[in-house]
Chains A and B, each alone.
Chain A
Amino acid sequence: MSEKKSNRRDFLFTATYAVGAVGAGAVIWPMIDQMNPDASVKALASTEVDVSAVNPGKTITVLWRGKPVFIRRRTPEEIAEAKSVKIDDLKHPEKDEDRAKNPEWLVMLGVCTHLGCVPLDQKGDYNGWFCPCHGSHYDTSGRIRKGPAPTNMEIPEYKFVDANTIKIG
């Protein structure tokens, strides 16, 4: 057996494995990706909400992408409480101004960042939200203060279309 012949065979093996791997990958990827959100799910990306009937101190919950969104019209006391917190005391430091651009309106995903339960309004040690599943406490800005949740409740992309309508997404 000459050196040359075995090299040629090695090349054929390597080329065969490589083409085989690419082929297997090309077949496997569609099988995996089919489980990702489909076109009809992605199409439901935004929701418009009329908030004219929401008085101060009230929260409404709307469904956006299958998840609850809390829209809370905060009282002046709640806003003051949220703003008075020292940023260093927070597990996930975020200023209230960055979370509620219009301080009267707090719009956030009503989903506990621990394992996805819906926290209860006006409960817990910080007058904000309390998650009944594993005991996370959130303040009046929806920031995590105590418990296993790692981050503050998420603020979705939203804007005021006019004075009474919020568009989420």
Chain B
Amino acid sequence: MSDHEYTPKSKVGKWFNDRLPLLTLANHLSDYPTPKNLNYWWTFGGILTFCLITQIVTGLVLAMHYIAHADMAFQSVEHIMRDVNYGWLIRYIHANGASMFFLAVYIHIFRSLFYGSYKSPREVIWIIGIIIYLLMMAAAFLGYVLPWGQMSFWGATVITNLFSAIPLVGEGIVTWLWGGYSVDNPTLTRFFTLHYLIPFLILGLVVLHIWALHVPGNNNPIGIDVKKPSKDTVPFHPYIVIKDGFALLMFMIVFAFFVFYTPNILGHADNYIEANPLVTPAHIVPEWYLLPFYAILRSVPDKLLGVIAMLSAILILAALPWLDTSKIRSAVFRPLYKQFYWILVADVLILGYVGAMPAEGLYLLVARIATAYYFLHFLVVLPILGFKERTTPVPLSITEPILGGSPNLAVVKKKDSFEK
């Protein structure tokens, strides 16, 4: 925690802080030494916190009007849109909020990939992040089922059927998940319950994520350790608070654009047709943020192996701190990794694109190549690169490139011995 002892100035504050050190915590958060070279890619942690709070608040309000019953869910959503005061606004914020949440989380994840934020000593922060990401996908999927439209129903059918790929017990698990022999009312009510629960689990994990972050402190664009507090750091408040605040404002403009100008562009028209268990829509496509994984699922011609490939594509990220063998964190000093990084970005975008297209012909071929490359990147390229790559010289400190030398003698010594 804080490097210095904190005592509140007021008598009441001191009395309270002696019994529950909340003010010490607040002081730690405010004084928290932050690398002074953080760029705008580092503002997405704050933006994501905003997204989570937005989803919880709007979700809570929607739950006051929504009815989780197969016969009434679709009507109740239309009731929210047409009758409830500002219901349209609240629902559009919630629905587009999910997309904005994923947009921000993908930027956050790819920032980590570029600057090596997942590497020692930040592996636990990274793994907690991956768990949060998995829970986000679960929450998004469960929430998408609740309006009980055609895409809700068939999305739920396809995703729950993924479990039927498990040998022997698969069918039993699917029946258990459904609470019947198909997706029906029991499925809807339990999905609503879990959709309500997961954001609070995420909130708890976010606290752990930040706690684990505050042990080693932030990584930074040049990826070297900083001594804190020193000339390399600035206090979180007001420096980072104002920077995060400005970035959040920019993000909210994008958010508001979707909510007010194109609230349905990220959804599917089929979901405004009530669920019908007798007719499957012609094209079942998940929401945009799940498309790369959907493409991986479809690119494998075997049911069980397809499901395994899709899950591995996500879980492989948890092993990333050990798959990347390079000691240098930031891609700034890794000329080859930098190129492979952008190839990976392109690969994921291509997977997302073919995931939205029908699984046939050229699309299928491209999906297969892109899937193979995705795994090659993590399982072959990254481990080898750590040994083969010639990295460029890393500065001694954040201040060195500007002022020359390090503000901390200890850092200079440590780096010197490192190079010998």
Choose among B160, B278, B300, B304 the residue that contacts A68 (Cβ–Cβ < 8 A): B278
Chain B residue at smallest Cβ distance from A61: B278
Contact yes or no, A65 B302, CB < 8 A: no
- Is there a chain A Cβ closer than 8 Å to B405's Cβ? no
Contact yes or no, B182 A37, CB < 8 A: no
Give the distance to chain A from B344, nearest Cβ to Cβ, in Å. 26
Per DSSP, chain A at the interface is loop
**143-176 of chain B: CB within 8 A of chain A:** 154, 157-158, 160-162, 164, 175-176
CB-CB < 8 A to A149: which residues of B?
Answer: 303
Choose among B184, B190, B298 the residue that contacts A134 (Cβ–Cβ < 8 A): B298
CB-CB < 8 A to A32: which residues of B?
Answer: 176
Given the contacts A36-B175, A38-B179, A150-B303, A116 and B158 also touching, CB distance less than 8 Å: yes
- Is there a chain B Cβ closer than 8 Å to A67's Cβ? yes
Per DSSP, chain B at the interface is loop
Given the contacts A35-B190, A115-B157, A133-B284, A66 and B184 also touching, CB distance less than 8 Å: yes
Contact yes or no, B180 A66, CB < 8 A: yes
**48-77 of chain A: CB within 8 A of chain B:** 61, 63, 65-68
CB-CB < 8 A to B282: which residues of A?
Answer: 132
**266-320 of chain B: CB within 8 A of chain A:** 277-284, 298, 300-304, 306
Chain A residue at smallest Cβ distance from B282: A132
> In the complex, what distance in Å separates the CA atom of A131 from the CA atom of B280?
9
> In the complex, what distance in Å separates the CA atom of A153 from the CA atom of B346?
39
- Is there a chain A Cβ closer than 8 Å to B181's Cβ? yes
CB-CB < 8 A to B83: which residues of A?
Answer: none
> In the complex, what distance in Å separates the CA atom of A114 from the CA atom of B306?
11
Chain A residue at smallest Cβ distance from B364: A135
Contact yes or no, B181 A116, CB < 8 A: no
CB-CB < 8 A to B358: which residues of A?
Answer: 135
Work out how many contacts link A and B, with CB atoms closer than 8 A: 87
Contact yes or no, B280 A133, CB < 8 A: yes
- Size category, A interface: 20 to 34
> In the complex, what distance in Å separates the CA atom of A134 from the CA atom of B357?
11
Choose among A41, A117, A134, A150 the residue that contacts B157 (Cβ–Cβ < 8 A): A117
- Is there a chain B Cβ closer than 8 Å to A148's Cβ? yes
Given the contacts A117-B280, A118-B278, A133 and B158 also touching, CB distance less than 8 Å: yes
Given the contacts A63-B277, A118-B278, A149-B303, A132 and B284 also touching, CB distance less than 8 Å: yes
> In the complex, what distance in Å separates the CA atom of A117 from the CA atom of B154?
7
Contact yes or no, A134 B180, CB < 8 A: no
CB-CB < 8 A to A131: which residues of B?
Answer: 280
- Is there a chain A Cβ closer than 8 Å to B380's Cβ? no
Given the contacts A67-B181, A132-B284, A148-B301, A115 and B278 also touching, CB distance less than 8 Å: no
Choose among B184, B277, B302 the residue that contacts A148 (Cβ–Cβ < 8 A): B302
Q: Give the A-binding residues of B (Cβ under 8 A).
A: 154, 157-158, 160-162, 164, 175-184, 186, 190, 277-284, 298, 300-304, 306, 358-360
